[in-house]
Amino acid sequence: MKICFLSGPNKPGKCGISDYINLLISEFKNYKSECEHFAINKERTLSDIAHNLPDADIYSVQFAPYAFSPTGLSTKALSDLAKSLKGRNTHVNFHEIWIGAYPNATWKEKIVGWRQKKEIQNFIKIATPNAVTCSNAAVIDRLNNTGSYANYLYLCGGIPYAENNEKRCSKVLQIVFFGTLYETFPYDILAKIIIQISSFLKKPVQINVLGRTRENTGFNKLMHVSQKYGLNISTLGELPSDVISKEFQMSDIGICTTPYDIIGKSSTTATMLEHRLPVLAFDDGDTPKNKLFVMSEFIDQIFLLNEDSTADRMISFLEKPRKSFFDGVAYTAKKMLDIVS
């Protein structure tokens, strides 16, 4: 069986979608499946892809509007791609959909989003894919509301488990951040809950920030809050994957600043969960509560800052033995084949 992945530019290490595709391609070798990644590049536009599809048994479109075009709009090229895919075994996996669907969106975002929504609806209508999938509650809810029904497909983490003979320090409460630090995250509330947990366990707090840190983002707010409450913080920068895995194994709690309704699109959060870290997150209220969900495998590992019992539940969780590593790449590859086959 040959699977052809269609996507925006292939930028390993810089683009989460590229990393996701490359992980799946590597895993599909275990199924003796041939894979090709047909990506946009300097010599190949989306229109070129549309008119020159290689032979394959399954076409998997890894969809993100701004990956296909800097403007987020690809009307004719996207329509041409849909026409080329019609009648073929096609899978569309939405990493992102239209912008402007949230209460605080600007008018410009709403106008662009309205056009993107029409493009996506037209694409699905023409291509008639065999399967439409997405990794998070917010996008599934919005797609379903337009009649473009999507199945859930877990988006795996990108850091494999590294063997580690060291043991976690039982005298310190180790907190780890990994991935983008969003400015809208309630860092002040987080600090208060961490202090509650620290006080009960009688352990000092050590916060470690992994990966790139950017000025004028949530990183500035995190630094301010840490100084305000006297929390020790270290920035470890970009690290090899085996070192990141060991950092997770040595940590007690992971922090996700991605809103809870789109937590499923965060591969960094998935990586923490796969290493069986309990994760503190926040529900910003943009998606109805009855539409929210996470993968059942991790339901007991996610704790919302919005809930009054979070500190107590986290303390109880930390007293339990940690589960073994969850191989998210193998899980996602199998689920994808089940869905598209």
What order do you get walking across the sheet with 34-39 strand by strand?
34-39, 2-7, 58-63, 90-94, 131-134, 151-152
Rounded Cα distance between 240 and 146, Å, is 42
pLDDT at 215: 62
Rounded Cα distance between 98 and 117, Å, is 6
Considering only the top CATH level, what class is 173-318?
alpha beta
Rounded Cα distance between 72 and 113, Å, is 9
Provide the 10 A C-beta neighbour count for residue 90: 25
281, 270 in Cβ contact below 8 A?
no
Tell me whether residue 32 is exposed, middle or buried, using C-beta atoms within 10 angstroms of its C-beta: 0 to 12, 13 to 18, 19 or more: exposed
Residue 79: enclosing H or E segment and its boundaries?
Answer: helix 75-85
Under DSSP, the state recorded for 336 is H
Q: Where are the domains of the chain?
A: 2-156+331-340, 173-318
Tell me if 2-156+331-340 shares its fold with 173-318: yes
- The single residue listed with the structure tokens 């006080």 is 199
Which pLDDT tens digit goes with each residue over 87-102? 999 999 999 999 998 8
Which pLDDT tens digit goes with each residue over 272-321? 999 999 999 999 988 889 999 899 999 999 999 999 999 999 999 999 99
Identify the segments of the chain with pLDDT beneath 70. 215-216
User: Does domain 2-156+331-340 bear CATH number 3.40.50.2000?
Assistant: yes
